Amino acid sequence: MDNRETSKKRVEWGFLITLLVIISLAFGVLIEPFFGAIVWGVVVAVLFRPVYERLLSYLPGRTNLAAVITLLLILLLVVVPTILLGMALAQEAASIYSRIQDGEIDFGAVFEAFESSLPQWMQTQLAAYGYDDFAGIREKIEQSISAILEFLVSRVLSVGQGAFQFLLSLGVMMYLTFFLLRDGRALAERIEDIIPLGAEKREILREKFLVVIRATIKGSLIIAIIQGTLGGLVFWALDIRGALLWAVLMGIFSLIPAIGTGFVWVPVALYLFITGAIWEAVVLVLCGVFLISMADNLVRPILVGRDTRMPDYVVLISTLGGLQLFGINGIVIGPLVAALFIAIWGIFSEMHQDKSEIVKAGD
């Protein structure tokens, strides 16, 4: 009888696990179109949870009202400024792209000036290494810049053409954020109860999840906004055309460790130097080194400290991998997966060590 019951239980568990895997995969396919909306709904809910709890302390028991007020703050502080920035960026990118197409911005003249400014010995040295084909290099760089601007314009236009999908995703994100703010704590407790780990290890995973999200947003996105704003102001003060576009590009590249804003302002400084704007180039280099780039070193410890406790090379690889696989959502997903990977292997190592000590004690 016991064997029959055991066999029956195994069949039931096998069927249940198979059904669980199939339904989970089907559910994943079902929500895939709104993957980005779900990711950012979770991120926004985690970030604005303290605001919701503060409001709830002034409105005890009125969870719905506190969540609605928090959503309104999110709209005013995050969503609306982002949409306005995107519209302004689209106009800026389209304007610069049009000027390149019309020949108003002539990279050929810049490269000719650069080539003629090089001393003869340097030209000879470059020729010896096969780098004397300035015409080919110029053509490739022109094509790359045009392709980048064309990509930005096309992406912004595609968002405009897919306005319904954008609004639908935004609605899903805000709707999900509302329920995560209101019921997030209870939902987190239910998920923790399902995980077959001890309370201490579940707490490690939960803390790692929350810490990485907060550190990524505070330490990366806020610093990106600061560096992009500083860079844009410097470009605007130096009367460099397209200051908004350069500011956004600096903000984007500042998200990638070991690359940073120098990927933008260094070539622009070289361009200014070649075209004879010497003092503008010097000012840009000084501001780039001592103002824009130093903001990361000064602000990150204040906002984040060493919350993620991950090596820089892990952050770099996970961020780049996340961007390649998930697009802009990878900024959060990449470091989060890396942090959970490290945490889970740490837990496994600890459990394996404890098991080894028990076996030794038994011997």
Alpha-carbon gap, residue 180 to 183, rounded angstroms: 5
Alpha-carbon gap, residue 15 to 339, rounded angstroms: 33
Alpha-carbon gap, residue 79 to 75, rounded angstroms: 5
**Continuous H helices in the chain:** 2-31, 35-58, 63-74, 80-101, 107-117, 120-128, 134-161, 163-194, 199-216, 223-237, 243-254, 262-274, 278-287, 294-303, 312-326, 330-362
Given this model, what pLDDT does residue 25 score? 87
CA dihedral 213, 217, 220, 221 (to 10 degrees): 150
Q: What is the DSSP string of 88-127?
A: HHHHHHHHHHHHHHTTSS-HHHHHHHHHHHS-HHHHHHHH
Given this model, what pLDDT does residue 71 score? 92
Given this model, what pLDDT does residue 257 score? 67
Given this model, what pLDDT does residue 106 score? 59
Given this model, what pLDDT does residue 312 score? 67
Residue found under tokens 């309104």: 72
Alpha-carbon gap, residue 164 to 176, rounded angstroms: 18
- pTM of the entire predicted model: 0.66
Given this model, what pLDDT does residue 248 score? 83
Given this model, what pLDDT does residue 73 score? 93
Alpha-carbon gap, residue 184 to 70, rounded angstroms: 14
Given this model, what pLDDT does residue 72 score? 93
Given this model, what pLDDT does residue 140 score? 65
Per-residue pLDDT of the chain (363 residues; tens, 9 = 90+): 466 777 777 777 778 888 888 888 888 888 888 888 888 888 888 888 889 999 988 888 888 899 999 999 999 988 888 888 777 777 777 776 676 666 666 556 666 666 666 666 666 666 666 655 556 656 666 666 666 666 655 655 555 555 667 788 888 889 999 998 888 778 877 777 777 767 777 777 777 767 766 666 667 778 888 888 888 899 888 888 778 878 888 887 887 766 778 888 888 888 787 777 788 888 988 988 888 877 777 776 666 555 555 666 777 788 788 878 877 777 777 877 777 777 777 777 776 666 555 555 555
Alpha-carbon gap, residue 295 to 274, rounded angstroms: 28
